Amino acid sequence: MPRLLAVFTSAALGVVSVLQAAPPVATPPAAWQSLFNGRDLEGWDGDKRLWSVRDGVIHGETTAEAKADGNTFLIRQGLVLEDFELKLSFRCNATNNSGIQYRSRHVTDPAEKPRNAWVVRGYQHEVRNQLKLPDVAGFIYDEGGKRGRLCAVGERAEWVEGKKQVTGQLIDAAAFEKLFKLDDWNEVRIVAAGRRIRHFMNGTLILDFTDGEDVALRKGVLALQLHAGAPMWAEFKDIAVRSHVGD
C-alpha cells in the first residue's frame, strides 16, 4: 500500500473509532412551566367561596359558615400529567388535612354521585402540618378509591398481587421530624415515570413507590384539596411542572 494511502486510511479509521466511542448526547431537561401567576386563579377551577389568592399565594379555606360539601378541589385546567416532575411549596394549619392530586380523574358523571362539581379521584400526595409518623405530609393516598394509603413516608415499596410489599427504608421518624418545617413553608417535588412515583420533601427523597401493572394510573389531572370536616386552611405557591426525562 502506498505510504500516503496508508496514512490516510489509518487516520480515517481513527476518526471512525473516535466517533464510535463517543458517548451519547444527553437529552436536555425540559423547561419548567409555571402553573400559577401569583395574581389570580387564571387557569384553575374550584369553589369560589373557598379558593382565592392572598398575598401572592393560592389560599383555600373552609369555615363554619363556608363548608366543603365533601372533599373539594381546585383543578388545573388544560393540563394532563403523564410522566412529569412537579414542584411547589405548601403550608397549612393542623385542624384538618389537604392534598395534591396528580394523574387523577375529575368526576363529572352524575351516575357516580359526586358531592360537588370539583370531585377528583386518584393519586394524592398528603398535605398535613404534623411531625409524627405515619400521619405526616407526603404519603400516597388513593383518593376516592379502595386502596387507602398506598405507600407511607419513609418506604420504598411495590404493589404486588393486590398488596403493598415494602422493600426498603428511606427516612425514619427522627429524620422526618428534623426535615419538616412545622407551621412554615415546605417544598414538595413529585416525580412520576411509568409506574414509579417518588416524593421529595425539602430536597430529600421520602417515598419511592412502584404501582402494580394492572392498577397504576398513567395520566390525569392536577388538583389541590380542601378536606371536608373541621374548618381548615391550606396555601400553595411556586407551582411548576415539566415533562420527566431520565430514570
CB atoms within 10 A of CB 49: 14
CA atoms within 13 A on the CB side of 228: 10
pLDDT of residue 176: 98
How far apart (Å, rounded) are the C-alpha atoms in residues 103 and 79?
10
How far is Cα 96 from Cα 170, in angstroms, rounded to an integer? 26
pLDDT value for 45: 98
Residue 96 grid coordinates: 384538618
Sheet holding 72-76, edge to edge: 44-45, 72-76, 221-226, 98-107, 119-127, 140-143, 149-151
How many residues in the chain?
A: 247
Reduced to 3 states (helix: H, G, I; strand: E, B; else coil), residue 243 is strand
CB 72 within 8 Å of CB 46 = yes
What digits encode the pLDDT tens for the residues 190-216?
A: 999 999 999 999 999 999 999 999 999
Closest CA to 104 of 223, 207, 191, 188: 223
The segments of the chain whose pLDDT lies below 50 read 4-9, 12, 15-16, 18-19
Structural domains of the chain in order of their starting residue, each with its CATH number? 32-243 (2.60.120.560)
CB 104 within 8 A of CB 220: yes
Selection from 208, 188, 212, 187 nearest residue 198 by Cα: 208
The pTM of this model reads: 0.88
Give the phi and the psi of residue 112 in degrees, each rounded to 5: -90, -5
- For residue 72, give the nearest of 140, 136, 144 by alpha carbon: 144
- pLDDT tens, residue by residue, 150-182: 999 999 999 999 999 999 999 999 999 999 999
Exposure on the CB side of residue 118, measured as CA atoms within 13 A: 25
Q: Which of 111, 55, 100, 98 minimizes the C-alpha distance to 75?
A: 100
Contact between 179 and 187 under an 8 Å Cβ cutoff? The reply is no
